[in-house]
Structure 1
Amino acid sequence: MLFPSICFPLSQSFFNSLGEWAVVTGASEGIGRAYAFALAEKGMNVVIMSRTKITLDQLAKEIGDTTGQQVKVIVTDFMKDNIFSEIEDQIRSLDIGVLVNNVGMLPSFIPCKFLETAHLDQTITTVINCNVKTMAKMCKIILPGMESRGKGVILNISSGVASIPFPLYSLYAASKVFVERFSQGLQAEYKDKGIIIQTVAPFGVSTRMTAYQAPNVVTLSPEEFVKSSLLYLRAGDKTHGSVCHIVLGWLLQSIPLKVLYAEAMLCSLQDYVKKKAALKVSICATSNFEHIKNK
């Protein structure tokens, strides 16, 4: 795991050999954006999907200007029902070699008990639609083409918190367990067809879900994480994507659950996230004030 480029080498033409196009859901920011750029830099055209047209159009221009690859924008809301027939119509004619199921939602940034979740009935539906249903539906749309060509890669983005039953993030963590088990089952079914299906389960990455926490030894930038995770593509049906996150995963599973589930530990987690969120709000407010003052 320390030397993935040596232990799990990929040829320079590996991604091009899979197909002309890569599809990335939740591509407008964070990890999805980083995957879209990384795959374009490896010579693939990319389909980027998200809710925000302005952001997607800007990203498409940046990818096109930087890499020279084609970019197709599909604006869609994965929290809604009955969107997949339209998506299938728009990508039906494409030679798709890579699918990155990245889109996902966190029910509440501040960790809380299940019954304390705001708008709980609606949240249950949107989490299942976004984190569970979308992944299965996108696989259903794209996997048949990969099977017929005998090649392809599907990366399903899970989370490090799915490594154990995780109180205060119960709904989110459980949805990501589905991602892992579904992916592992599919890999067993389609490995002999020449298709790689892998769960990628990061811990800290500096995205909106982590309040854009400053990158450090364990919290990576999206670009750093994606660059590292692609090195582990042949490392098995699940990877944490980087050396530091692999170590974190081992440590998390080594701590007795009765310690992690202690009330004092759970309260400390809540307080830590609340302080991080308050600090981020304070920094943003100060930055906006300075911007207005200097205009």
Structure 2
Amino acid sequence: MDSYLPRPTAQALAAIGLLYVSAKLFSFVRVLLSLFVLPGAPLSKFGRKGTWTVVTGASDGIGKEYATQLAAKGFNIVLVSRTQSKLDTLARELESKHASVQTKTVAMDFAQNRDSDYDMLKRHIADLDISILINNVGLSHDIPVPFVETPEDEIRDIITINCIGTLRITQLIAPGMVQRKRGLILTMASFGGILPTPLLATYSGSKAFLQQWSTALGSELKPHGVHVQLVQSYLVTSAMSKIRRASATIPTPRGFVKAALSKIGRSGGAQGIAYTSTPYWSHGLMHWALATFVGTMNGVVVDQNRSMHEGIRKRALRKKERDAKKAT
């Protein structure tokens, strides 16, 4: 006997298939529009020129680039990082390039989590009209490492810097934004928070924490005129990534920050995730494709991620051995 589906059933399945394909196509069009066509909200929405931006992790890489580009747009900058000499150098550079821009520097080691440091920062910003906060300070593992072999101080520093430091800084600055009924809080995230990353387990967990916290905070502050956006990224050339050569999927800090500042309020590749953006074009396409066709939490993805980082660890350990031999 020939087997066949009843006509109504076949029509229903065809309709479901058409809806599925249409939804994916619509989502892809949204991604393209968000990444390549539609502009983000202007920064003037959150504060006029001459108001202040606080940038943490400001002395190098992405943080330095945020400070540089926001100063070029006329914002005064509070530079927060660990090394005073680097902060002083950057402050002089910004003020020499932009005559109307003022800077303040606050040297603090987020890993120490000292109340005195946060009290010092609070005094520095007490009378400032802060319109933008860039939560950029962060720490990853020196090299990929199994969790059971991770040094205790490395675990503590990653959680203290990435999580506690970000929360404490935001809690200092957000009340003023709420009072003024305007402000922008950008927090740097990572694909490590989207994709569980074996051998970077503590770092990956800290970035996943920031995703949940930032999304919740965005909902809390929206009625007060404060926009919160978690900024997702794949790799960027930086000291943290240990990558020096840029490519289509690994931009320079300059290219990445330019994209991030031009896409405020746009989700980019982070479709369906509230208060989140993956603004750089190749990162956005990667994020959308992973979430749409592969998934980010399944065992296959996690195992492949583990295999990749096991290879990175082996290469890093071999390099350390070679360097140790050269030093003797």
Task: Name the TM tier (shorter chain).
Answer: 0.7 to 0.9
Rounded to whole Å, the distance in 2 between the matches of 1:27 and 1:265 is 30
User: Could you say what the CA RMSD is over the residues aligned between the two structures, in angstroms?
Assistant: 2.6
Q: How does 1:221-236 map to 2 (within 5 A)?
A: 221-236=252-267
Which blocks of at least 5 consecutive residues in structure 2 are unaligned?
A: 1-30, 268-274, 324-328
Q: Does 1:46 align with 2:77?
A: yes
Q: Which residue of 1 aligns with 2:200?
A: 169
Deviates more, 1:219-228 or 1:87-96: 87-96
Q: 1:9 to 1:172 in 2, by over 3 A?
A: closer
Rounded to whole Å, the distance in 2 between the matches of 1:26 and 1:85 is 18
Rounded to whole Å, the distance in 1 between the matches of 2:265 and 2:130 is 19
Equivalent residue in structure 1 for 2:217, among 186, 209, 213: 186
**Contact 1:211/1:277, CA 8 A, preserved across alignment:** no
Q: Which residue of 1 aligns with 2:240?
A: 209
Q: 1:15 to 1:113 in 2, by over 3 A?
A: same
The amino acid of 2:102's aligned partner reads: Q
The SS at the match of 1:218 is coil
Q: 1:94 to 1:282 in 2, by over 3 A?
A: farther
Rounded to whole Å, the distance in 2 between the matches of 1:62 and 1:36 is 11
Q: Which residue of 2 aligns with 1:112?
A: 145
% identical equivalent positions:
31
**Contact 1:159/1:202, CA 8 A, preserved across alignment:** yes
Superposition deviation, residue 274 in structure 1 = 5.2
Q: How does 1:20-169 map to 2 (within 5 A)?
A: 20-68=51-99, 69-81=101-113, 82=115, 83-106=117-140, 108-117=141-150, 119-120=151-152, 122-169=153-200
**Contact 1:37/1:63, CA 8 A, preserved across alignment:** yes
Rounded to whole Å, the distance in 2 between the matches of 1:157 and 1:252 is 20
Rounded to whole Å, the distance in 2 between the matches of 1:18 and 1:70 is 11
The amino acid of 2:236's aligned partner reads: V
The amino acid of 1:266's aligned partner reads: R
Q: Which residue of 2 aligns with 1:244?
A: 282
Q: How many residues align?
A: 280
Q: Which residue of 2 aligns with 1:259?
A: 300
Deviates more, 1:41-50 or 1:244-253: 244-253
**Contact 1:110/1:270, CA 8 A, preserved across alignment:** no
Rounded to whole Å, the distance in 1 between the matches of 2:318 and 2:245 is 15
**Contact 1:16/1:43, CA 8 A, preserved across alignment:** no
Rounded to whole Å, the distance in 2 between the matches of 1:196 and 1:90 is 23
The SS at the match of 1:55 is helix
Q: 1:265 to 1:66 in 2, by over 3 A?
A: same
Superposition deviation, residue 3 in structure 1 = 4.6
Rounded to whole Å, the distance in 2 between the matches of 1:98 and 1:281 is 44
